[in-house]
Amino acid sequence: MKTFLIPAAVLVLCVTAASAWAAPGTVLRNEKLYSQPSASAKVAGTVAKGASVGILAKQGGWLRVTSGKTTGWIRLLSVRAGAGGLGGTRVGDVVGAATTRSDPSRVVAVAGLRGLNDEDLKRAQFNADELARLDALSVMAAQARSFARQSGLAAVNVAELPKPQPEQSSSPWGDN
């Protein structure tokens, strides 16, 4: 009994710590905050695109967030984690990434961690031995099905998601 209580206590502590600590996030579109993680739950408030929230917890496709005095559940895809604000294109890391072509030393600069940059890819020589190793790892459909069954995974019908309305009339080839 005692040995069970200790991990339980640790778990409770962790959960409490997690909910007390709010990670920063930014709202990606005008949204409702619900009292429960469900679109049929009572609406507790609204948040506007670009608003900052504190992320308290995650459950399936929902995040529990605080916005001002309101706390509620918002769709996971309506918030971005991190303090980077709205959108990504103007964030510094993207600009930084573009400069690595002329300065490949930047990529391997982190504490000896090996990176992988476009120069590495361009210089790469065909490695038949590694490819043979990869071939040998391939599994049969029957193995995959049995693996899925072991954890109770079963195929379900899920409809394709619709293609969003075109934002601009650019050709599918452009904008690379």
Partner 1 sequence: MKIKLMLLAVSLVSFSSASAGFDFGKLLEERLSKELNKDKQTQPTPAQTTTPAPAAAQSAAASPPPANQKIDARQLGFALFGDYSLEEENRIGRQISGNLLGAVPLVRDNKLQNYVNLVGKWVALQSGRQDVTWHFGVLDTEAINAFAAPGGYIFVTKGLYRLLNNEAELAGVLGHEIAHVTQKHHLKVLKQSSLIGALGQAASSKAKGSDQVVQNLIGNGAEIMARGLDKNAEHEADRAGMVYAARAGYDPWGLPSVLQDMAALPAGDNRTSLLYKTHPHPADRLAALGEAVDGRLDAVRGKELADRFYRIK
Other CB atoms within a 10 A radius of the CB of residue 64 amount to: 21
Query: Shortest approach of partner 1 to residue 134 CB, angstroms?
Result: 5
Of positions 68, 81, 102, 169, contacts partner 1 by CB under 8 A: 81
HEC assignment per residue over 80-110: EECCCCCCCCCCHHHHHHHHHHCCHHHCCCC
3-state secondary structure of 5: helix
28 counts as binding partner 1 under rule CB under 8 A:
yes
Size of interface with partner 1, in residues (CB under 8 A): 85
Q: Does 22 engage in binding with partner 1 (CB under 8 A)?
A: no
**1/164 with CB nearer partner 1:** 164
Q: Which is nearer to partner 1, 17 or 162 (CB)?
A: 162
Q: Is 152 in the site for partner 1 (CB under 8 A)?
A: yes
**Interactions with partner 1, residue window 2-21 (CB under 8 A):** none
Q: Is 58 in the site for partner 1 (CB under 8 A)?
A: yes
- What is the three-state SS of 39-87? CCCCEEEEECCCCEEEEEEEECCEEEEEECCEEEEEEHHHEEECCCCCC
Binding mask 99-118 for partner 1 (x = CB under 8 A): -x-----xxxxx--xxxxxx
Q: Does 176 bind partner 1 (CB under 8 A)?
A: yes
Binding partner 1 by CB under 8 A: which of 39, 42, 48, 70? 39
- Cα(149)–Cα(155) distance, integer angstroms: 10
Q: Give 29 or 42: the residue with its C-beta nearer to partner 1.
A: 29
Provide the 8-state DSSP code for 37.
S
144 binds partner 1 (CB under 8 A): yes
- CA dist 25 and 49 (Å) reads 12
The answer to whether the CB of 71 falls within 8 A of the CB of 65 is: yes
